Amino acid sequence: MSVQSAAADVDVDLRQLFASLGRNWLRILVFVLVVTGLAFAAASFATRYYKAETQVEIAPRESVYTRPAGSNNDGDKPILDEQGVATQVQIISSNEILKQVAQKLGLSRLPEFDETINMSSLSRGLILLGLKSDPMDVPTDERVLKKMREKLNVYGVEKTRIIAIEFSSEDPKLAAAIPDAIAAAYIAGQGAAKSESNTAAADFLAPEIADLSKQVRDAEAKVAAYRAQSDLLMGGNNSTLATQQLAELSTELSRVRANRAAAEGTAESVRKALQNGGSLDSLPEVLSSDLIQRLRERQVELRANIADLSTTLLDNHPRIRAAKSQLADLDAQIRSEAQKIMKGLAMQADAAKARESQLVADVNTLKAASAQAGEQQVGLDALQRDAAAKRQQLELYLTNYREAASRQDRNYVPVDARIASPASVPSEPYFPKIGPIVGAAAAASLLLAAVFTLLRELFSGRAMRPASGARFEPIDEVAMPPAAYQEPSPRSEPAVANEFANRAAEPSWPEAPAPTQPRPAAEVEPVAKAKPVAEPESLAKSEPVAEPEPMAEPPEPVVEVRRPRSVLGEIDVEKAAEKLIASGAARAIFVSPEGDEAAASAILVAREVSDAGLRVLLLDLTASGAASRPMLDSGLFPGITNLLASQAQFSDVIHADLYSDCHVIPVGTADPVRAMRAADRLPIIMQSLTTAYDLVVVECGPADAQGISRLGGEATEVFLSMLEADDEVTQAAVKLIESGYPDLTLVTPLGHEPPGNPVPGRRSAA
């Protein structure tokens, strides 16, 4: 049995804890009534304060009819964004405006704003003792401003361009008059600032206009003198005469060059036709000649006569020969005329060429003149730009000056603010609110009284009760009964009786009286461990163990031992637990060839190691859930099959043993076939469990070496649980040893009675 701390052995009895409120109801009620009465008295005799509010709208007040003509719609607007409104808030609460309001309303004469007026004797005494500063050391204006700032609240209304001015005072009329006066002073100050700005602008513009007028006249005179000096006479299209003439000559030169090229081309065509003896009918210049056209007509008539005569006369007839001679003369005349046309075209081309040469010379002359005029034009343009800029500035100054002068004469200065809602005289004080103050005091006092009562009950220990399953020390030892002498076995030791262990596992049971008759040695259990054991020697030292002394002769009363003598070298549950603790094993694999009844060894060993103070978990891999059902009293809990089938998480499948501090993972409720498809995840699950627990006990049922191969790892102990030393157990042990488990340990649950047996009559740990 493990020794637990007092904090773990007790629980808070909530029913007893909250019942203390009912037992102390009168004390709580009196405390609440006293506090509520004090709050009511304080609120009733407190000074009444009244609060009033004035709202100022920040918006442009300039009319569309009076806006300057040169400005756009947004040019004269103030900054109305969040920063602009915040700036106006600071202006409204500035010292300048507050001083004006204080002087106008005479606040320095009121005791509310100047504590030096009607100062109480207590205050004077504190000043004399040096416990309070003398207000007379501060100027009167500063004292008044300090009080005004304590009572003033200026803020911008969210998502609007409204500024609220709140003021609180003992006098309701004064509470309404001060914010109105502050708003009026702010608007008057804004108007004065605009008027001052307007006057300053007019005073600045008047001499500037006179100066600019003289500068404009000088600049325009310089432009005229430079143009006359440079002979930059202006022609059409706002260009100089040289540039304009150059453009005209360039056009004429292009035309003359085109005519020359056309005349030369035509003359060349006529020349080639005459040289080659070709037809001249295709040349447009030849066809356009009237003489050639008449010769062509005569030629056609002669050919017609020759054709008529050829019908009746031979070719050598004189008439035919005469007609042919005339026809040849006509051809010669046509070619002669064509040569004349060719000579005319050539002369025309020569004339165009001469004209072109003359135009080229003139263009070159004008180019030089135009280049010089261009350089001079640069200087002229600079003078013109200077004069135009000064003229434009002069016109702008004249316009602004007229606007400023007219506003100054008519005293028209619109302010970008107005009083949207003046303050009204409040009829009810905003402080103190007797109802909310009394209610808050009653609720707070009730809560404090309840908390104080609960804490006092909790710290006094009256609200504590023993925790379920708690174990208490010390252990009642019972005298060792006489036993028959037998040869000591290396695997067995005499047990020491511990009657208290049979009662401690049952929570809240009354202690049974000490037994009057000793129990047989085989039925008593070993001493419960008081501390987590690291070595077997420490277990032997935790409680004194009575060693049997050899006797010369056997005593008269001989007690029959129920446990049979060991035949296969098996150990009991206590020795198995000691072995696991001493070896520091992280995994303990139990194989039960005899079936479900032998699974009790895994349960008892897990509980024994858990009682020693280690974190232990039992994993049930039996088909029937024989190892987990006695620990949970049900087989309907989710377990390892649900975890393998991905239907639950670790936190869902780990449950607490009903009769010890051990944890258990049952078989589960999922489909075993589906779960075994994910059997490869068992090594990962085992690794995770060994990381979280000091020892993981696995009950495998009648498994073989191949079946437990996935469960092994570092620091693993393999146990074979047995009830009777028969051939089945022997064969199973031999197979496991031959399959690679030479350190196999046999363990039996016989002779072990768990403390507080919850289900009497069961041979297993249940």
* Straight-line distance from the first to the last Cα atom of the chain, in angstroms, rounded to the nearest whole number: 17
Q: Please tell me the predicted confidence (pLDDT) of residue 235.
A: 56
Predicted confidence at residue 752, as pLDDT, reads 66
Picking from 90, 51, 77, 57, the residue whose alpha carbon sits closest to that of residue 157 is 57
Residue 28 pLDDT: 93
pTM: 0.43
What is the torsional sign of CA 170, 174, 176, 178? negative
Long-range contacts of 671-679 (CB under 8 A, 24+ apart): 671/641, 671/645, 672/623, 672/641, 674/641, 674/645, 675/640, 675/641, 675/642, 675/644, 675/645, 676/644, 678/644, 678/645, 678/646, 679/644, 679/710
Q: In this predicted structure, what is the pLDDT of residue 118?
A: 81
Q: Give the pLDDT score at 41.
A: 93
Residue entry with tokens 């017609």: 304
pLDDT of residue 37: 94
Rounded distance between C-alpha atoms, residue 763 and residue 604, angstroms: 11
pLDDT score at 98:
94
Instruction: Please report the pLDDT score of residue 30 as a whole number.
Output: 94
pLDDT of residue 535: 34
Structural contact between residues 525 and 552, judged by C-beta atoms closer than 8 angstroms: no
With H, G, I as helix, E, B as strand and everything else as coil, classify residue 756: coil
Q: What φ, ψ does residue 696 adopt, rounded to 5°?
A: -115, 115
Tell me the C-alpha distance between 283 and 295, whole Å: 16
Averages of pLDDT over runs of 10 residues in the chain (766 residues) are 42 83 92 94 90 92 68 53 88 93 92 85 81 84 92 92 94 94 94 85 87 89 79 60 73 81 74 64 62 74 80 79 78 75 76 79 74 72 86 88 78 84 91 91 94 85 60 41 37 30 33 35 33 32 38 41 48 87 90 84 90 91 85 84 87 89 91 83 87 91 82 86 81 84 84 51 36
State residue 589 phi and psi, 5-degree precision: -105, 125
Angle at 69 between CA 63 and CA 74, to 5 degrees: 60
Taking the C-alpha atoms of residue 168 and residue 601, their distance in angstroms, rounded to an integer, is 84
Using the CB atoms, write b or e for 568-592: b if 16+ within 10 Å.
eebbbbbbbbbbbbeeebbbbbbbb
Helix (H) or strand (E) holding 699: strand 695-699
The one-letter amino acid at 508 = S
* DSSP class per residue in 472-527: -S-PPP-PPPP----PPPTT-------TTHHHHTSTTPPPPPPPSSPPPTTTS-PP
Looking at residue 464, its pLDDT comes to: 67
Listing DSSP states for 287-323 in one string gives HT-HHHHHHHHHHHHHHHHHHHHTTTS-TTSHHHHHH
Cross-sheet strand order for the sheet of 655-656? 655-656, 663-665, 616-620, 695-699, 587-591, 716-721, 745-747
What's the pLDDT at 490? 35
**pLDDT value of residue 237:** 58
Q: Which pLDDT score, from 0 to 100, does residue 747 have?
A: 87
Contact call for residues 193 and 178 (beta carbons, < 8 A):
no
Q: How high is the pLDDT of residue 78?
A: 52
d(C-alpha 271, C-alpha 706), whole Å: 122
Q: d(Cα 500, Cα 475) in Å, to the nearest integer? A: 6
Residue 281: predicted pLDDT: 57
